[in-house]
Structure 1
């Protein structure tokens, strides 16, 4: 059995007038004329056979019937608004949560976000800095962007983006800048070298790549984070070692130089997800990252 209801527009006009105590204010809120609101209310009163408002000073006040209808209409419109907002949220894909080391986030990802937005306008990211490494289960993350070396966790699906290359960098403010910029790699055997606790093998591997004894390097000041390491190098406090992509902006500006170039470590830039995660946004993001790094393949 059908249960006919009054026109929705008429109920909306009535609810606004009852809530605001004014036909004129209801018309302003609904962006219609005063006459349109009055006609909607009159339609309801004629269908009901009873008045819904009475005059009160310069305004209007609902009658007993109007109070009952105002309460029911107000609850109904609130329920509809809440449901509609929830449906709109559910219809939008959640942001892709991407974890990456803080130094990589600050020095490489963030400066490229504008380009990413142009290339993949539908991709919404939530970026999460990870300073203590990644749990194999990637809790709370959809994907992880990292510079890593094998073996990576077997639970991961790996999108290889390109090889990692590292090299020593120093600032024109370094006290031995003039001599070191023209010196062979062996000159670094005599220098205390800045390093990070997170990459203890960076210097030994670079030394080995240049036919120098890997254990002959002299540790200087150590830092927890690459960002601090590079700020110390820029201040002229020593020679640091870093991935090429993370110092390229400093090299381009002349803030740092890399007299001895960069060498492959055997590590890779990689976008990692749990196996079985077939989210197409991840493959699209991997393709864009690979292009930014100048890599190819998967």
Structure 2
């Protein structure tokens, strides 16, 4: 397009403005000082105004230079992001999925063989993250999480399934017969197993089932849901968990859910950074929806 300056001239200007030095811009772009100076002169002659002014031994942007820098910087940032997105979305590029350790261990990994068979183009790379939606330097291509709205800023959210939680207990637990005989009200006499990361789980379930919250008693606490469920399987007490994370154990007879599950205000979601576009996300979201719907018997 003849109404725009050359890309080389704009690159020379952007680097010089950002680094505040013609020499440093030349080093970054692997060209000579003279080459940068010539490109800057091309822009200034086309505009009929200076872009830089001398200040001591250095240079500073003029008001016109500042205006151009804002636009050029944004344009180059968008180009870099678009180029990175296109590279990331190639069929042969790994797809990085961020996921909390408990979801990874108890839901993703047991289905990994089936996922790789059904979506062979995905080339999934798993990235364990306790909070995969938290801001950080390297964002995943997508994050699997259980969360409640409002959704975090900067993410596009694909809702996969409603979360349902309920008490689970091993058939090896010594007090099982008494609990089954007395019903859910007997849970108020139990030292309930819980996770420190989700202290509201037991009170929310109890309230939904007509059990006084103040009657609950807590026993051993665990840092992660994975440890909590392993403790339940080992027969150490009554735990509370999402149905999707314990259905395999229920089907295998390792755990019982005598009092059922209740829906919470949270959902299983697959979230992607808003500025990224990847056709593989839709396929993964559809696959996960099907799997999650099959987890509820």
TM-score grouping bracket, smaller chain normalisation: 0.5 to 0.7
Confirm or deny: 8 A CA contact 2:91 2:121 kept in the other structure.
no
- Which runs of structure 2 are paired with 1:103-252 in the superposition (5 Å)? 103-132=102-131, 134-136=133-135, 139-252=138-251
Q: CA deviation at 1:174?
A: 1.1
Structure exhibiting the larger radius of gyration computed from Cα positions: 1
Structure 2 gaps, min length 5: 1-88
Q: What whole-Å deviation, never above 9, does each CA across 1:99-140 have from its counterpart, x for those lacking one?
A: 111111111111111211222111111001112553145733
Match of 2:272? 273
Q: What whole-Å deviation, never above 9, does each CA across 1:177-220 have from its counterpart, x for those lacking one?
A: 11112332211111110000111111011111102223432111
Range with greater deviation from structure 2 (284-293 or 229-238):
229-238
Confirm or deny: 8 A CA contact 2:99 2:131 kept in the other structure.
no
Change (3 A) 1:132 1:288: closer
Confirm or deny: 8 A CA contact 2:133 2:152 kept in the other structure.
no
Distance 2:205 2:137 in 1: 30
Match of 1:60? none
TM-score, scaled to structure 1: 0.65
TM-score, scaled to structure 2: 0.66
Change (3 A) 1:171 1:160: same
Change (3 A) 1:279 1:262: same
Root-mean-square deviation (CA, aligned residues, Å) is 2.0
Confirm or deny: 8 A CA contact 2:232 2:239 kept in the other structure.
yes
SS of the counterpart of 1:265? strand
Structure 1 gaps, min length 5: 1-89
Match of 1:81? none
Q: How many residues align?
A: 207
